Structure 1
Amino acid sequence: MDLGGGRAAFILTALIVVGWFALGTLLNIRRGNRLLRWFQPGMTLLGERTTLRWLGSSGVELKVQHALPPLKSAEVFVLLEPRDLPLLWWLFRARGRRDLLIVRAELRAAPRFELEALHPRAWSTRGVARALEGDRWTPAPVPSGSPLVAYQRGGGPGGAGGGRGDTAPEMLAGVALGKLPLVRLAVRRTTPNLEMQWEVRGLDRAESHDVVEAFRRLAQRL
């Protein structure tokens, strides 16, 4: 048995794994820092005094200490693909995982209805539609050509007990940016009262100010 050859193969494999981990970590940190720099101008619309925390090498959490009305609290997450773990990266990417920007907020007054609009094939919404249907949420209309599916509960937007009379398609049209695909919009009576998720791509064609302004505009209408 050629023990020398086996040892060499083991060492080579270990070097490849360690090298990939180091390179993937570096790529994610650079990607995360780029997203943070891009999002920084929009943070002022959420509030003041933001704390930052890295969640490993595949996530960043931003918490706003003093949120501006109508927000009571707000937090931002950047969730990155696990580029430092090649097998998991391949598996998650095959299942549709992409870099995500998530903005969540607790409102000063809870919404009087609940709405869920989501991309049914996105990795972050997997199983959500089935759970909503099992909980007897009612299907809601979406704008023509939208890849999203929507469900509502408690009268829904535009119905009895709703917000300012907006229908679900009008609410979705109001937050559609085009440049950043919307993955999920959640309006809930429980916290977080409002959550929006976007797939992060085409940052050179989008402004963070527009993203946060769309979020705040919707919060004001709930």
Structure 2
Amino acid sequence: MLERWFTGTDLAIGLAAFLLMWYVLGIQVNRRRAVSLVRQVRDSIQPFGETASIRWIGRSAFRIEAEQLTPPFVRLGISVLLEPRETFFLWAFGRLGGRRDWLVIGVTLNGRVGASFEVYHPRRRGASQVAHDIREKGWREEPLVARPPLLCAGPDADERALAREVMSAIGEMDVWRVGLQPEAPHLIVSLPIPATETRTPLPIFAALPQLAQTILARGSRR
């Protein structure tokens, strides 16, 4: 009994030491990751204009606001939320659920946007809210051909066709959501940022001019 008690105590002490070490290392990794991503995002939006502000939200998130941009952009709102690497169980549970460092871009364009659609991954962050909004609007939802398990929804066939056109411009990038609406921000893109992604500009920012051109061209024909 005494040996079993000591064994349990040893396990508890070992687990506590492991979690403490993981916490310290996780904070350091997230700090380096955050600095790297700030640099990547800042350099990625530099071709669009020079006015940008950065606001930190705790240790694991930040937001960049960019204004006075070159056409066809008016404003970019960029949010990044890092994985909870400092907390082992939250990190492990999130990993099993597909959680990754998360980038959300809100794009305000300088032209008329009359279309609406949603393309989203049904098992990724933010999916439940998007699905709820689609049901509330009564939109038809269908699988996005050639990009399973993404789903596509819109008020009519023309809007869903525009969604497919926009997704064609995005190419093979892994995205969790691409939404379009008449109100600012007009275009919302949500996607994971793999730790192995070190390119500058980040591919999604390089694709934004073509996405904007596709959306505004459709708006001018309506």
Shared fold (TM-score, shorter chain, > 0.5): yes
Q: State the 1:31 CA deviation.
A: 1.4
Mapped contact 1:75–1:105 kept (Cα < 8 A): yes
Partner Cα separation in structure 2 for residue 46 and residue 25 of structure 1: 32
Deviations 1:116-142 (A, max 9, x none): 001111123234224412430122563
Q: State the 1:196 CA deviation.
A: 0.9
Amino acid at match of 1:59: A
Partner Cα separation in structure 2 for residue 110 and residue 121 of structure 1: 32
In the alignment, is residue 90 of structure 1 matched against residue 92 of structure 2? yes
Output aligned runs, 1:57-206, within 5 Å: 57-139=59-141, 142-153=144-155, 156-157=158-159, 167-176=162-171, 178=172, 180-201=173-194, 202-204=196-198, 206=199
Aligned to 1:54: 56
Partner Cα separation in structure 1 for residue 30 and residue 158 of structure 2: 39
Using a 3 Å threshold, how does the CA distance of structure 1 residues 45 and 115 change in structure 2: closer, same or farther? farther
Mapped contact 2:117–2:152 kept (Cα < 8 A): yes
Structure 1 unaligned spans of 5+: 159-165
Partner Cα separation in structure 2 for residue 209 and residue 89 of structure 1: 24
Scaled by the length of structure 1, what TM-score is found? 0.78
Q: Secondary structure at the match of 2:138?
A: coil
Partner Cα separation in structure 1 for residue 56 and residue 28 of structure 2: 13
Amino acid at match of 1:175: I
Q: Secondary structure at the match of 1:72?
A: strand
User: Equivalent pairs: percent with the same residue?
Assistant: 26
Q: Larger % of helix: which?
A: 2
Q: State the 1:41 CA deviation.
A: 3.0
Structure 2 unaligned spans of 5+: 217-222
Amino acid at match of 2:174: P
Deviations 1:131-156 (A, max 9, x none): 41243012256342443111012664
CA RMSD of aligned residues (A): 3.1
